[in-house]
Amino acid sequence: EECDIGLIGLAVMGQNLSMNIASNGFKIGVFNRTYAKTVDTLEIAKKENLTIYGYKTLEELSKNLKKPRKVILLIKAGPAVDENINNILKYFEKGDIIIDGGNEWYLNSEKRIELCKEKNVEYIAMGVSGGELGARYGCSFMPGGSKYAYDCIRDILEKCSAKVGTSPCVTYIGSGSSGNYVKMIHNGIEYGDMQLIAESYFLMKYILKYDNKKLSQVFKKWNEGILNSYLIEITYKILEKKDDLTENDLVDMIMDIAGAKGTGKWTMLESVERGIPCPTICAALDARNISSFMGLRNKASNVFKTVLDIENDLLNALYCCKIISYTQGLFLLKKVSEEKKWDLDLGEIARIWRGGCIIRAVFLDRITNAYKNNKDLELLFLNEEFANEIKNKLPSLRKVISIATTRSVPIPAFSASLAYFQMITSQRLCLNLIQAQRDYFGSHTYKRLDREGDYHTIWE
Ligand code: 2AM
């Protein structure tokens, strides 16, 4: 068979994406390390009247690909990808294309790009968001790397992506490993969104004493306004859900320990490495990590026993923090784009996040517009519209945080968002004293406000 494209790795994402590709009229060949999964995939596809071509070896798959050959990898990120790329390179020739669709650490992709360059094989590192359903029926693709390769697979990606109106949720992101990086930031932002929503839920639960039904109604109402988004939508649906095993609501039966797969951690590592703070995302990651110490939390809560009208303030506060959090993530993207000369179009990136992916929301249109008005916008909330909104909603955020603080309800992401906003909008900070202390004990020197140069004081 002459397949348009190949796909390696038939876990759920790979299985669903291959069916998506087949259902869009492309001939797709697949290969998986364990052949049984290939057989499974072909059967599942058959039930949906889709033809997928399965191969027992990588060599066979390669032989059956139209030139230039194109193959998408959807396997466990890390060494497994290196192993597979080394194998693929045995069969691929000049101009053939490798697309890694995994959540890969961007520096790993940069090494692979170099390796492929030696054989004149084109490489794309592509973020894919949308979960299992997105993979099957339309996701958001974030492909970066070889522009030539992008043009070769553009038609396939556009057809398989989610659509908002008629625009496909895919664009060429930039050179190098920028596709991985943008996906990483997408996931970091997703952590922040989720934590802010969870804190809002918690505040209404413990301060307003709303039951799950009422909570669900509030989120449902919010989903019809400025906060309209996939994550708010699934939140109200989660709060409606009954438990199968008891009489209770399911959400009350779920252990409050959150897992993480690593992209939030990577965003933080990058944030720290580059000195571009993302404290809302940091708070979200810390919250997941703190949640794991369940025994310790129980013990400590016994030592510090705490007791566990503002609904509209909360809506405003949540929206305000969302703007602040996106400002942080996009600022990190802007800085790395400048440093690595990726020339990222932040407005276009917001556009492809509009559908398919987990952080999809109407709100993203406004980010696209903000960058359309000024593509060099330094901080998202310096856009006039966002700035005015924050000005209007800030009193609500302060009120929510002060109530939560006096009532001992932990809301780290709200607090971190406000702290960030207050710092980055302050002409003067307390760091002059830090510099004095550093100079005092370590002769680290300091700069002055009134004249040039480095100064050191003999303090004693
Ligand atoms: P498997 O079905 O043979 O386990 C997600 O784990 C996907 O990555 C699966 O399709 C899995 O294949 C594949 N995978 C994981 N490690 C791999 C490796 N070292 N080589 C090839 N495929 C691998």
Confidence band for 318, pLDDT divided at 50, 70 and 90: very high
Query: Same domain, yes or no, for 247 and 334?
Result: yes
**DSSP output for 188-247:** HHHHHHHHHHHHHHHHHHHTS---HHHHHHHHHHHTTTTT-BHHHHHHHHHHHPBPSSSS
Over residues 376-398, the pLDDT tens digits come to 998 999 999 999 999 999 999 99
Measure 33 CA to ligand 1 centroid, in angstroms. 6
Give the pLDDT of residue 148: 97
Task: Find where tokens 């009134």 sit.
Answer: 450
Measure 75 CA to ligand 1 centroid, in angstroms. 5
- Give the residue, by CA position, lying nearest to ligand 1 atom 10: 9
Distance between CA 243 and CA 136 in Å, rounded? 28
Give the pLDDT of residue 139: 95
Distance between CA 95 and CA 117 in Å, rounded? 10
Query: Same domain, yes or no, for 188 and 272?
Result: yes
Query: Same domain, yes or no, for 281 and 171?
Result: no
Beta carbons of 358 and 267 less than 8 angstroms apart: no
Last residue of a domain, one of 145, 176, 207: 176
Read off the CATH number of the domain in which 33 is found.
Answer: 3.40.50.720
Query: Same domain, yes or no, for 161 and 193?
Result: no
Compare 101 and 204 and report the one with higher pLDDT: 101
**pLDDT of 149 above 90:** yes
How large a percentage of the chain has pLDDT more than 90? 74
Measure 104 CA to ligand 1 centroid, in angstroms. 15
CA nearest neighbour of 156 among 18, 42, 62, 60: 18
- Give the residue, by CA position, lying nearest to ligand 1 atom 13: 75
Structure-token pair, residue 33: 């390390």
Measure 34 CA to ligand 1 centroid, in angstroms. 8
Distance between CA 36 and CA 258 in Å, rounded? 33
**pLDDT of 371 above 50:** yes
Q: Which atom of ligand 1 is nearest to the CA of 10?
A: 10
Q: Which atom of ligand 1 is nearest to the CA of 9?
A: 10
Measure 445 CA to ligand 1 centroid, in angstroms. 54
Query: Same domain, yes or no, for 412 and 448?
Result: no
Last residue of a domain, one of 176, 201, 225: 176
Looking at the structure of the chain, the number of domains it has is 3
- Give the residue, by CA position, lying nearest to ligand 1 atom 16: 80
Give the pLDDT of residue 300: 64
Longest dimension (CA), the chain: 84
Distance between CA 133 and CA 55 in Å, rounded? 25
Beta carbons of 134 and 357 less than 8 angstroms apart: yes
Q: What is the mean pLDDT of residues 153-158?
A: 98
* DSSP H or E stretch at residue 369: helix 363-373
Give the range of the structural domain holding residue 405, as residue numbers without chain letter. Answer: 183-424
Out of 17, 38, 75, mutate this one to test ligand 1's pocket (max ligand atoms within 8 Å of CB): namely 75
Query: Same domain, yes or no, for 441 and 370?
Result: no
Last residue of a domain, one of 149, 176, 203: 176
**Quick one: CA dihedral 286, 287, 288, 291, positive or negative?**
positive
Q: What is the mean pLDDT of residues 152-175?
A: 97
Give the pLDDT of residue 68: 96
Query: Same domain, yes or no, for 220 and 339?
Result: yes
Compare 148 and 355 and report the one with higher pLDDT: 148
Read off the CATH number of the domain in which 201 is found.
Answer: 1.10.1040.10
Give the pLDDT of residue 430: 67
Query: Same domain, yes or no, for 338 and 212?
Result: yes
Distance between CA 179 and CA 198 in Å, rounded? 29
Tell me which of 106-110, 226-230, 383-387, 441-445 is least confident: 441-445
Residues whose CB is less than 8 angstroms from the CB of residue 154 and which lie 6 or more positions away in sequence, other chains included: 170, 172
- Average pLDDT of the chain is 92
CA nearest neighbour of 99 among 132, 130, 119, 74: 74
Query: Same domain, yes or no, for 383 and 282?
Result: yes
Compare 438 and 224 and report the one with higher pLDDT: 224
Confidence band for 1, pLDDT divided at 50, 70 and 90: low
**pLDDT of 264 above 50:** yes
- Give the residue, by CA position, lying nearest to ligand 1 atom 14: 75
Query: Same domain, yes or no, for 47 and 130?
Result: yes
Q: Which atom of ligand 1 is nearest to the CA of 33?
A: 3
**pLDDT of 287 above 90:** no
- Give the residue, by CA position, lying nearest to ligand 1 atom 8: 75
**pLDDT of 307 above 70:** no
Ligand 1 binding residues, C-beta < 6 A: 9-11, 14, 32-34, 37, 75-76, 80, 83-84
Measure 5 CA to ligand 1 centroid, in angstroms. 19
- Give the residue, by CA position, lying nearest to ligand 1 atom 22: 33
Amino acid (1-letter code) at residue 386? F
Out of 8, 37, 57, 76, mutate this one to test ligand 1's pocket (max ligand atoms within 8 Å of CB): namely 76
Q: What is the mean pLDDT of residues 273-301?
A: 84
Read off the CATH number of the domain in which 436 is found.
Answer: 1.20.5.320
Query: Same domain, yes or no, for 219 and 259?
Result: yes
Measure 76 CA to ligand 1 centroid, in angstroms. 6
Enzyme catalytic residues: 183, 190
CA distances (Å), origin 104, targets 35, 81, 182, 451: 24, 9, 11, 47
Confidence band for 448, pLDDT divided at 50, 70 and 90: confident
Give the pLDDT of residue 305: 56
Taking each helix axis from N to C terminus, what angle separates 35-47 and 12-23, rounded to the nearest 10 degrees?
40
Over residues 15-34, the pLDDT tens digits come to 999 999 999 999 999 999 99
Beta carbons of 51 and 45 less than 8 angstroms apart: yes
Query: Same domain, yes or no, for 57 and 109?
Result: yes
Give the pLDDT of residue 69: 97
- Give the residue, by CA position, lying nearest to ligand 1 atom 18: 80
Amino acid (1-letter code) at residue 237? K
